[in-house]
C-alpha cells in the first residue's frame, strides 16, 4: 500500500454517500487532526472519487488544509468500490462502553483539546471549594428503556414533584462543547427515575 499526498481540490466526494456526519463529529475529527496530524489516509478510486474518509475530508477542509495523505486503489472495479465504501461505514459502527470510557477519559489531561465526548463526567472546582450535589450526563444508556412524561400545567407538574418527592438540587450546566466554566452553577429539578420503583409507587406496591 502506497500513501501519497493529494490536493484536496482534486478529491471528489461521493455524492451518494449515505453516512451522515454532524457538526460535532466533524469538529472532533478536526481537533484530532490538529493535535496529531492526519494519521489515517483517505482512500480514493482510480478516478479520485472518495471511497473512505468523508468525515476526515470535511475536517481537513475545516482546517483549510490543501493536501491530505491518500491511498489510491486503481485496481478495484466500480462494484468493488461501492461495496467497500458501504462496508467500511457499516463495520465501523459500535457503541461506547461508558463504564470503561469515563475512567479512561477522566485520568487523561485533555487540556487544550476541544473535544465533545458526550456523556463524560466533567468536573470543576468552584472558588469556594463546593462540589455539586449531582452531575448530569448528556447521554442516556441505549440499553435502557424510557418513558417521558409531559405536564401541560404547572399544577400537574408540582403535584408530580410532590408525589415522587423530587427536590431541586445544585448542579452544573455545560456549554455545547461540553466544557464547564466557573459561575455555571444552576438549580436542577429534572431527574431520571427508576421505572420499577415508579410503577410500585403508582400502584401502591401491588405489583
Segment among 72-81, 104-113, 120-129, 183-192 with least mean pLDDT: 120-129
Q: Is the dihedral of CA 22, 117, 184, 186 positive or negative?
A: positive
User: Which structural domains are found in the chain, ordered by start?
Assistant: 3-91 (3.90.1530.10), 95-207 (no CATH)
pLDDT band at 20 (very low <50, low <70, confident <90, very high): confident
CA nearest neighbour of 6 among 21, 53, 81, 87 = 53
What pLDDT, on a 0 to 100 scale, did the predictor assign at position 37?
92
For 134-159, give the DSSP string: ----S---TTS-------SSHHHHHH
Q: Which residues pair with 20 in a beta bridge?
A: none
CA nearest neighbour of 117 among 49, 174, 183, 38 = 174
pLDDT band at 117 (very low <50, low <70, confident <90, very high): low
pLDDT band at 120 (very low <50, low <70, confident <90, very high): very low
What pLDDT, on a 0 to 100 scale, did the predictor assign at position 155?
81
**At CB < 8 A and 24+ separation, what contacts does 143-148 make?**
145/195, 146/192, 147/195
Residues 188, 161 contacting (CB under 8 angstroms): no
Residues 30, 59 contacting (CB under 8 angstroms): yes
Strands, sheet with 67-73, edge to edge from the N-terminal-most edge strand? 3-7, 67-73, 42-45, 50-52
pTM exceeds cut of 0.95 = no
What pLDDT, on a 0 to 100 scale, did the predictor assign at position 125?
39
What pLDDT, on a 0 to 100 scale, did the predictor assign at position 170?
62
Question: Which burial class, exposed, middle or buried, applies to 180 when counting CB atoms under 10 A from its CB (0-12, 13-18, 19+)?
Answer: middle
pLDDT band at 59 (very low <50, low <70, confident <90, very high): very high
What pLDDT, on a 0 to 100 scale, did the predictor assign at position 65?
95
- CA dist 19 → 32, 93, 105, 152 (Å): 20, 11, 27, 38
Mean pLDDT of the chain: 77
The answer to whether residue 10 scores a pLDDT higher than 80 is yes
What pLDDT, on a 0 to 100 scale, did the predictor assign at position 152?
78
What pLDDT, on a 0 to 100 scale, did the predictor assign at position 158?
79
Q: Report which of residues 89 and 31 the model is more confident about.
A: 31
Amino acid at each position: 500500500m502506497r500513501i501519497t499526498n493529494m490536493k484536496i481540490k482534486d478529491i471528489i466526494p461521493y455524492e451518494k454517500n449515505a453516512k451522515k456526519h454532524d457538526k460535532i463529529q466533524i469538529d472532533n475529527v478536526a481537533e484530532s487532526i490538529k493535535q496529531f496530524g492526519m494519521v489515517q489516509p483517505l482512500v480514493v478510486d482510480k478516478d479520485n472519487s472518495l471511497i473512505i474518509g468523508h468525515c476526515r475530508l470535511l475536517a481537513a477542509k475545516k482546517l483549510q488544509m490543501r493536501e491530505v495523505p491518500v491511498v489510491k486503489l486503481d485496481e478495484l472495479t466500480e462494484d468493488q468500490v461501492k461495496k467497500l465504501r458501504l462496508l467500511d461505514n457499516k463495520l465501523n459502527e459500535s457503541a461506547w462502553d461508558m463504564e470503561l470510557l469515563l475512567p479512561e477519559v477522566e485520568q487523561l489531561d485533555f487540556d487544550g483539546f476541544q473535544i465533545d465526548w458526550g456523556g463524560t463526567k466533567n468536573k470543576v472546582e468552584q472558588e469556594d471549594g463546593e462540589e455539586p450535589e449531582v452531575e448530569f450526563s448528556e447521554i442516556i444508556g441505549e440499553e435502557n428503556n424510557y418513558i417521558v412524561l409531559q405536564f401541560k400545567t404547572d399544577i400537574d407538574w408540582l403535584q408530580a414533584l410532590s408525589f415522587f418527592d423530587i427536590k431541586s438540587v445544585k448542579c452544573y450546566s455545560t456549554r455545547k462543547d461540553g466544557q464547564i466554566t466557573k459561575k455555571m452553577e444552576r438549580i436542577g429539578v429534572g431527574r431520571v427515575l427508576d421505572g420499577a420503583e415508579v410503577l410500585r409507587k403508582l400502584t401502591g406496591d401491588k405489583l
